Amino acid sequence: MQKYYITTTAPYVNSDPHIGFALEIIQADALARYHELKGEDVFFNTGTDEHGKKIYEKAVEDGKNPKEYVDIYAAKFRDLKNLLGLSDKLNFSRTTDDKHILAAQEMWRRVESAGYIRKGTYSAKYCVGCELEKQDSELIEGKCPLHPNKEIELINEENYFFCFSKLQDKLLEHYDRYQDFVIPAHRQKEIRNFVESGLTDFSISRLKEKMPWGVPVPGDESQVMYVWFDALTYYISALGWPSEEQLFENYWGKMDEPRAIQVAGKDNLRQQTSMWQAMLMAAGLPPSRQVVIHGFITSNGQKISKSLGNKVDPVEYVNKYGVDALRYYLLAKIDPFEDSDFTREKFEEVYRADLQNGLGNLVSRVAAMASGMSNQEGGESLSISKNVEESLNNYRFDEALRDIWMRIKQADQVISEKRVWELEDIPKQQILSELIEVIVQLAVDLRPFLPMTADKILSTYTAPTMQKMSPLFPRLA
């Protein structure tokens, strides 16, 4: 059976889940469900990044010890599985798990023994929000543009460094071998330009006396791992690496056959597609096969972020509009790769037009007109439509749903043109049978995107006798 591994990034647990991560994990979930429907053996991973200075500072600010603090927030991210209707295949990993800590330390040992770790003095301007050092050219009026509410810190201490500069040629070879390593293509060009311009070794540890919340550096109790070196290893610690070698190889792949698919935001481009890949190469492990980069969600043109305080709460939207309404908007109306706007006004407009008056109205009308009819349809034998499959293979969730909604409109048009509600006996049954067949296929195609809605439709439209349906998407107050 074909193996398929897909993972999200590991968000920091310094605040509640926000709409940007909801987008990421719902995209990954749609892909996981699609590949499971194709009969593949899927390992779907998400989790939380729980070490680092900004988490330590937040815990102190809240009057909690760091472990107590991260336990509270990790539970909120774990709850996304039920809140967002995510696949039962979902695996949840934490960077405070014992198996992850052991994996991070083993990664360190392998990279160090291969000659890619050195000690040196770290002097830099540092953004705690990004957990990255910043050049003056990256700052606007002395502030990080992604975290303008945080002060840039000046760091000067002895740390360990990852010899990033030694991996330049290997990274470029990987980009050459896999021209679709980064999706979309312009992001691959962007990271290639970054690597070609020359790589600088980066710090991978901090003094424990200044930042005690981290994974201990093997062989040096005075230092803890810098967040990226620790956190990035979560992609493989989730598979039980290094102890579960066969499980790791089955899903992550081999040197000449990488298979891991990662989903990440554009602010993670450098970390996921160059830093992490270089770490894998330094440790003698296979790189990822593909990294799919999504854009930011904006609100009235402004980036939605925790630091700017304009976040959209996915919990609120699910509670008010339903999980599949949120999933639909994020997959259908947010560009998979570029920045897109999200406002309540736009959301409710789409809810009414596409869900309530579109899909919901169609399935309710046909079910009502066909009530009492014997039903010969069976969705279990159907596969996803070719157009939807092609769109998903290209990560175009929006195009797949556009194709489905075009067929919804065509079915509505047939009802109107044929005036089905006025027909009787055999002519009416024939057209309704055709419409039922169309709707069953629509439901099958919706499974990766709107799983709960798809199941509701199929339960009615594949029953021995057709029955009326309650509204899939209730009217808004």
**Concatenated DSSP letters of 257-318:** EE-EEEEEEGGGHHIIIIIHHHHHHHTT-PPPSEEEEE--EEETTEEP-TTTT----HHHHH
Q: Same structural domain for residues 378 and 283? A: no
Question: Which pLDDT score, from 0 to 100, does residue 377 have?
Answer: 57
Matching residue, tokens 């989790």? 47
Q: Same structural domain for residues 355 and 421? A: yes
Q: Which tokens is 457 given?
A: 């439709």
Cis omega before residue 242 (within 30°)?
A: yes
Among 14-18, 128-132, 146-150, 432-436, whose mean pLDDT is lowest?
A: 128-132
Asked if residue 328 is part of any domain, the answer here is no
What's the Rg (C-alpha) of the chain? Answer: 25
User: Which domain-ending residue is among 294, 326, 361?
Assistant: 294
Backbone conformation region of residue 299, classed left if phi is above 0, alpha if psi is from -120 to 50, else beta: beta
Asked if residue 208 is part of any domain, the answer here is yes
Domain count, the chain: 2
Asked if residue 141 is part of any domain, the answer here is yes
Asked if residue 303 is part of any domain, the answer here is no
pLDDT band at 350 (very low <50, low <70, confident <90, very high): very high
CATH number of the CATH domain containing 360: 1.10.730.10
224 or 301: which leads in pLDDT? 224
Q: Same structural domain for residues 145 and 11? A: yes
Summary mean pLDDT of the chain: 93
Q: Same structural domain for residues 242 and 383? A: no
Question: Which pLDDT score, from 0 to 100, does residue 275 have?
Answer: 97
Distance between CA atoms of residues 430 and 258, nearest Å: 50
CATH number of the CATH domain containing 21: 3.40.50.620
Q: What is the pTM of this model?
A: 0.92
pLDDT band at 142 (very low <50, low <70, confident <90, very high): confident
Asked if residue 330 is part of any domain, the answer here is no
Backbone conformation region of residue 336, classed left if phi is above 0, alpha if psi is from -120 to 50, else beta: alpha
User: Which domain-ending residue is among 294, 309, 332?
Assistant: 294
Matching residue, tokens 């709409």? 19
Q: Which residues span the domain enclosing 166?
A: 3-294
In this predicted model, what pLDDT tens digit does every residue of 183-203 receive, in sequence order?
999 999 999 999 999 999 999
Q: Same structural domain for residues 265 and 391? A: no
Question: Which pLDDT score, from 0 to 100, does residue 216 have?
Answer: 96
In this predicted model, what pLDDT tens digit does every residue of 29-51 receive, in sequence order?
999 999 999 999 999 999 999 99
Q: Same structural domain for residues 404 and 278? A: no
In this predicted model, what pLDDT tens digit does every residue of 48-67 receive, in sequence order?
999 988 888 888 888 999 99
pLDDT band at 134 (very low <50, low <70, confident <90, very high): confident
